A and B are shown apart, each in its own frame.
Chain A
Amino acid sequence: MVFMAVTGFAVARLRNLFGVVMLTGLFSLMSAVLYVVLDAVDVAFTEAAVGAGIATVLMLSTLALTSSEERVSEAEKPMWALGLVVVTGAVLIYGTLDMPPFGDAYAPIHHHVVPRYLEKSGQEVGLPNVVTSVLASYRGYDTLGEVYVIFTAACGVLLIIGRPKRGRRRTLRMLVGEMRHGMRQNVILRVVSKLLIPFILVFALYVQWHGDFGPGGGFQAGVIFAAGFILYALIFDVDTSRMVVPSEVTRLLLALGVMLYAGVGVVGLLRGGNFLNYSVLAQEQAAGQHLGILLVEFGVGLTVAAAMITIFFTFARQEH
């Protein structure tokens, strides 16, 4: 925690935005370690993958498009803004005083909702990983909303930045010619990345399907999958990687994941249950839940991967 305080302070004080981005990555990392210590492995997983990894890369892409020093504002320091922040912080802290102590066994959350999840999840859902069962089944609506949010974010990026102004479309022949006698490419990075990328993609698939038994699930797997493609795009050209993953494909996957999730819910409706009730998908309840969670997590993974790839490629294609 001391680490986090020091890093947070340094983040606020440094003017150089690049240093800020690096230290923000460090901050995310420390949060992930904190979550591990608190025994929340899935959260730590997601925080490490998203916060420390992708967010840093995306912020760097943003920095590449803008300047790298923070402009000192000429206006006088507004004291009322500081006052507002202090008052809000004080009110928030006052609000938390009323909450039960950390980890208290008599807290209401531990009495009504959590015991139900912990005890009944075994027979109702039948998955060892309770976090996945809560995320995908008991709180399926919330997760559907999260997937929609990611989808909307990717759409927003596409709408605002969209196509590059100058056509940087290059044909295959031009690229091959460039590689042969243009720049001397960096051999070590290329070879190592080509070795690693299949491994990364297979690991993403492992995390996706293993989410039922250990930490993992759709969000983390989508991020790791996107990381493989981002690595490819970093080492090679963005245009080359656009030929590997054309924008039609990513847009299709983006929508497909969301439709898969909502579609499972609708199928539940059609078969006589509520929206997103997986129990009616198969003969017995646990099997239905299994199937539903499998499909739903896959939808999440698809959308998250496609969204991350889309956002990074869109940022990287912009000229300064």
Chain B
Amino acid sequence: MMFAVTAAAVLVTMVLTLYRSIKGPTVYDRILGINAFGTLTVVLISVYGFLSGRPDFLDLALVYALINFINTIAVSKYVEFSHMGRPTGGDELGDM
């Protein structure tokens, strides 16, 4: 019963982040929304695993957390440099 409540909360938050991904005026809003959506998916898969009594899903959740991270880094790099081959970092702003 508790898992159902948590799953419902996750779904509601997914809707909110999805709204931000589609609407977000700048591209960074969209990336942020997708990152949050990914973490929510990790939580949803874990809770659903408990709900259905099959904890095998946790491997899947871990993989998805990894993929989410790599995607966010890749997209940030793409937006920053428009080239996927050069090293990340180094800027005129320094470390703010």
Q: Residues on A close to B: CB < 8 A? A: 3, 6-7, 10, 18-19, 22-23, 25-26, 29, 32-33, 36-37, 39, 41, 44-45, 48-49, 52-53, 56-57, 60-61, 63-64, 182-187, 189-190, 200, 203, 207, 210, 214-216, 220, 224, 227, 230-231, 233-240, 315-320
Contacts and interface: CB of A to CB of B under 8 A. Distances in A.
Interface of B: 14, 18, 21-22, 27, 30-31, 34, 37-38, 41, 44-45, 48, 52, 54, 56-57, 59-60, 62-64, 66-67, 70-71, 73-75, 77-79, 82-91, 94-95
B63 A49 contact: yes
Contact of B73 (A36, A41, A231, A238): A231
Q: Is the interface of B mostly helix, strand, loop or mixed?
A: helix
Contact of B75 (A22, A183, A203): A22
What 6 pairs across the A-B complex have the smallest Cβ distances? A183-B90, A186-B89, A53-B67, A238-B85, A316-B85, A316-B84
Given A186-B90, A216-B59, A234 B37 contact: no
A33 B27 contact: no
Nearest to B22: A10
Q: Is the interface of A mostly helix, strand, loop or mixed?
A: helix
Nearest to A189: B88
A220 B63 contact: yes
A238 B81 CA distance: 14
A214 B37 CA distance: 26
A45 B61 CA distance: 9
Among A39, A60, A320, find the residue whose CB has the most chain B CB atoms closer than 10 A.
A60
Given A29-B37, A33-B41, 4 more contacts: A41-B56, A184-B90, A185-B88, A215-B59
